[in-house]
Amino acid sequence: MSERLSEEARKSLLTPLFESGWEMVEGRDALTKTFKFNNFVDAFGWMTRAAFWAEKWNHHPEWKNVYNSVEVVLTTHDVGGLSALDAKLARKMDGLA
């Protein structure tokens, strides 16, 4: 999991994520998406569910919560960019939202 995504892997792994609202961070090899919820409890509840997966996979997001909104950035520091783990966590976050 822990190698930087090849061009081919990017096409297969990232394309569906772009279709579900993920974008590349400008100037970084990283994915970002802002999730919106009805209120703080829903936002933080979602973060809590995602946190268990992040810890289980030992792959943690950068994320910022402001009331009902959570801005997520995913990248793999060990490889200096996107790895398959980022795509996996992004898919999980979509599934939990």
**Which of 3, 23, 55, 78 contacts a copy of itself by CB under 8 A?**
55
Point out which span in 8-16, 26-34, 61-69, 78-86 binds a copy of itself (CB under 8 A): 61-69
Sign of the torsion angle spanned by Cα atoms 74, 47, 22, 92: positive
Assess 28 for contact with a copy of itself (CB under 8 A): no
- Closer residue to a copy of itself, CB minimum distance, 27 or 56: 56
Q: How many CA atoms lie within 13 A of 18 on its CB side?
A: 10
Helices (H), the chain: 7-19, 40-56, 84-96
- Closer residue to a copy of itself, CB minimum distance, 53 or 84: 53
Both structure tokens of 33: 């998406």
* Footprint on this chain of a copy of itself (rule: CB under 8 A): 40-41, 44, 47-48, 51, 54-55, 60-67
